Chain A
């Protein structure tokens, strides 16, 4: 029996730049990636959605603030509300926060400088569709490249997220001024995740690290299960 190939949508906004990397990486993990243009009002039949990195709409006003109103984002919100898997990477994370699909907000890096380097991370939670192939406490090395990756939540929100175990990834050293070094979070239901590091840029030892493969192959595996469940 051949295992079904999950279809994973990759949203394309004007100003996105990592859409093809995400597409390539998902295909490498045996998913069937499908580009979805930002003006689409309906998603095709998908098992998961990835919002890739970049600078949608020039990051005008606040990063992600304008992209969240793209017609395709309404469809993504509906997809997430039905329990669909959504992963936002970098700008995708910023968009999901602005859209209210993930908690917190991404601000200018504390240093005001663009950060572009491999960063060390620790996995805090493995019972999510995005980290099931990681071990709890596992250290990962995945690159970041952002000017606005300083995740912020006020005290009350942060306590709530801690209590709900919604912090999934943390930097193990200061990177951008993020509150408590948060690098990735999930929504309460656990079907939407955002992270600033770029797993799609770390899927082969030739790229310096293959640790991003753990995140993306977890997603592909979870999407495949949803195909099987639907059959």
Chain B
């Protein structure tokens, strides 16, 4: 299976990178509201069991991929594409 982990600054947490992106986009003439910048981690997993894989990726997020004080995470699981 493959997992995509989206790590975002939590709501209410100041995101200076997002603010810099937001003001740059406005300077380019784009009409944008708030911009927030996070991180994407793509993972290849050996497991073929969606429930087990999700539980494992959750543990990865709690231990390493996200800091729960400031970041939230979302996990998307997909079947690995066969060739």
Contact = CB atoms under 8 A, between A and B. Distances in A.
Interface of A: 61-62, 65-66, 69, 98, 104-105, 107-112, 152-154, 157, 177
A152 B64 contact: no
B64 A65 contact: yes
Interface string B2-18: 00000000000110110
B81 to A, nearest CB: 26
B75 to A, nearest CB: 17
Contacts, number: 30
Nearest to A62: B67
- Measured as residues with beta carbon below 8 angstroms from the partner, the interface class of chain B is 10 to 19
B69 interface: yes
Interface string B52-72: 000000000000110101100
B35 interface: no
Contact of B16 (A98, A111, A153): A111
Given A62-B67, A105-B69, A157-B69, 10 more contacts: A66-B64, A69-B64, A98-B67, A105-B70, A107-B70, A108-B17, A111-B16, A112-B20, A152-B69, A154-B69
Contacts of B17: 108, 112
A66 B65 CA distance: 10
